[in-house]
Structure formats: C-alpha cells, structure tokens
Amino acid sequence: MKYVKQFFNTFQNKYVFSANDVKRFFSFRKANNDYYKIFLYKLMKEDKINKIRYGYYSFYNDIMLTGFSYYPFYYGLENALSILKLWEQETNPVIITPLHVRTGLMQFNNRNYIVRKISREMFFGYTYVKYFDFYIPVSDIEKTLIDLIYYNEKIPSELFNELKYKANKNVLKMYISKIKENRVKNKIIKFTNISGKL
C-alpha cells in the first residue's frame, strides 16, 4: 500500500489516533477524500492497528490506552485505587471525561471498560502515572475520594476511612473550594469531615 511507511513514521509514537488525523494526513498528500477509510480498513484486516471505538485507533491492544480516545480524561474511582495501589482488587478501567459522549459499559478487544461523564467544573485533581511504557492520567488520592462521594460509589467503610486518613487535608480543602455547586460541596464536606475556611 502506498504511504504505509510515511504513515507509520507519523503515527507509531501516538498512543491513540483518530480517523480525522488520518484523513488530514492523506489530504496533505493530495489523496482521494475517501482513501483514508480504505487505508484504515486494510490495516485493521492485517491486524496492524486496533479499533478502540468509532473513529479512534491504536497500534496497541492494551485496554489502559482506551482513555486517550476520550481526551481530556483521567482514570478514576475504583480503577484509580488499583492503579495507586490503595487496594488489590482488579477493576475495569474507569474513564472520567467532560466530553459529551456515550457513557456506561464499553468493550475493547473483548475486555470491558467504563465511561463516566463529569462536569468541567469537577474536572481536576489528576496526575500522570507510569504504566509499563506509558504515562496515563489518574486521579490523585484526594480527587479519588471526592469522586467516590460525588458518584455515590459503594466501597468498604474501612477503605473509605483509610482514604480519608491518607488524604492531604490542605489539598482536599483546595479541591473542595473549586466546587461551585453548594449541594455537591456540602455533601463532600459532610463525608470527608473537612471543616474550616474553604
């Protein structure tokens, strides 16, 4: 196939790329408008790329890279607890994004992952964590605690208490101060027992 070498040189270092990225790649080379569709289809048939979801692809088949097709995002909730080694239970990836996308249980290469929507106001409190050869965004312990309350997630009380103990109180206060909706803010203050000026 024409352009294969150029394509691999351009995209092989990306965790995820979109069909629109590939369309632009070929438009710069004056290819037929629909050629990118044929090109992607052939690469998939040859198992050279993996389709994550509609319009998004990767050279990798690692489910922990699915989140990059929902950028901006971070991995959170129980999944963050596992990544941060705060509990040993294996979990499905939980992708938290402010994008207007379909949410719920999804699949990639016969493995499940979950997409949760969050408001732009609540989209903060994550850091990049090394995951094998990749760096992935994961909510920190303080934001994980807040999100567990925000989404009404049920976890063992002893684990919840451990998170409250380990969380940096100053960081928690700073995060809570970012929340403008009083109902959400008061709920988080109540469950975290954070007091004082926010």
The Cα–Cα gap between 161 and 32 comes to 59
- Is residue 197 in a domain? no
107 and 172 co-located in one domain? yes
96 and 124 co-located in one domain? yes
pLDDT interval class at 144 (50, 70, 90): very high
Tell me the pLDDT tens digit for each residue of 86-117.
998 889 999 999 999 999 999 999 999 999 99
The boundaries of the domain holding residue 43 are 4-58
Tell me the pLDDT tens digit for each residue of 56-91.
999 999 999 999 999 999 999 999 999 999 998 889
51 and 71 co-located in one domain? no
DSSP state string for 152-192 = T----HHHHHHHHHHS-HHHHHHHHHH---HHHHHHHHHHH
Question: Which of 28-42, 43-57, 131-145, 160-174 comes out lowest in average pLDDT?
Answer: 28-42
pLDDT interval class at 195 (50, 70, 90): low
- Is residue 181 in a domain? yes
Average pLDDT over residues 117-123: 97
24 and 95 co-located in one domain? no
Q: What predicted TM-score, i.e. pTM, was given to this entire model?
A: 0.93
